[in-house]
Structure 1
Amino acid sequence: MTKDKKQSQSSASSSLLDGWNAPPNLVTYSRIVLVVIFLGLYIAAGAWGLNNLPMRWVAAILFIVAASTDKLDGWMARRFNQVTELGKLMDPIADKLLTCATLVVAAAFGELGPVWLGWIVVALFLIRELGITVMRFFVIDTGGKVIAAAWPGKLKTLFQCIGLSMLMLPVWQFAGTSGDNPLWLNAYLFLTYLMIFVSLVLCLYSGAIYLINTFSGRRKA
């Protein structure tokens, strides 16, 4: 390894760790902790909250809080001029940890429709998300700057969080005890799955754009 390359990698590493304790980054770390607590409650509550419905409500609220704080740390970083390379890396990782883990559990519980379909949806999300995360580290390792999320990726996250929030909320408890779902519940579930489907399309689209920008040498979001 040449001296220039060593200096370049050392500089990139130093730049990545700069501002690790900035308030926006602390919010991101807190969001990761919330994700762990949320997942424990979600799994313990069981599929559709059948094991413990109140626990499912708490899990849903934690999911919404964790998803909402994504905007908080981003706003703080821009408002107080504390945008850091670590923040640009950790923020999407925190998003992916929340959404991908939720999708995996939802598929395992059969909450995304037929089990086979749920796992196909999860596989497509995971291939894109893990692939882009690996690519971000590759960019850093080669001395480049972290590429922040572009608007299609941000829109994907918005639709994904709305859809999963709707899925997490156990509103079906208000449907009564009759055998068939009421019309409003069917409409609610249709809108829920539509949000998740749209987010999947945006997920694949934004991933393709990211790869094109990376391999074409452009370093802008």
Structure 2
Amino acid sequence: MISILVYVKSMKSKGTNRSLQEPTGTIRNLQEPSGTNRNHQEPTGTIRNQQEPKITNRSLQEPTGTYRNQQEPTRTNKSLRGTNGNHQEPTGTYKNPQEPTGSYRNLQEPSGTNMSVKESTGTNRSLQELTGTNRNRQEPTGTNRSLQEPTGTKRNQQEPTETNRNLQEPTGTHRNQQEPTGTNRNLQEPSGIYRNPQEPTGTHRNPQEPTGAYRNQQEPTGTIRNLQEPTGANR
């Protein structure tokens, strides 16, 4: 009799027996059937309540990062004032809904590298932008373009070619009568690849030789321009 009681007590004390009141370790009660214990309101992996279904969801009051509220639809919106966005969003590449295209454009400047008067910064060009690749009438150097030249490398009717030079642009690749040295050409520079009216041979051209890349005063076309051709990339 004593041995039976001892056997029954030993069976009750073994670790494999679980009661409904034993929730610790890997033990599960009736309300907790799955691996990492979940309640009825939190069934998924990283536990969420009913009011927060996703971690990456943002409200209308959270416009930062890659999320936008109804008032901030896109980061690339630009306003009519060039690189600055609207009055509340002046930085970086912000665009307004009225300016959807390419490098910053206003409504009047839809094509290529066109620059408006209000767009003086960055790649935008205005009358106040004399430096770099900016174009205006006061910008005689390099590849500067005039107000009549709104598109990329395109030129206006008076300026058919990219290397047109006028009398006011003596430096660099520009040519006038006062610039005989380097790549500049004038009537007094007959040697090498330079051409004057007295040099008819080879690749050099005289007034009777209008063909080739170089032209005399009667030949306004080509990369070199005569005194009657003051217009060019510079204005």
TM-score range, shorter chain: under 0.3
Q: Where is the helix percentage greater, Structure 1 or Structure 2? A: 1
User: Which TM-score applies when normalising by structure 1?
Assistant: 0.21
Question: TM-score w.r.t. structure 2 length?
Answer: 0.20
For the pair shown, the structure with the greater C-alpha radius of gyration is 2
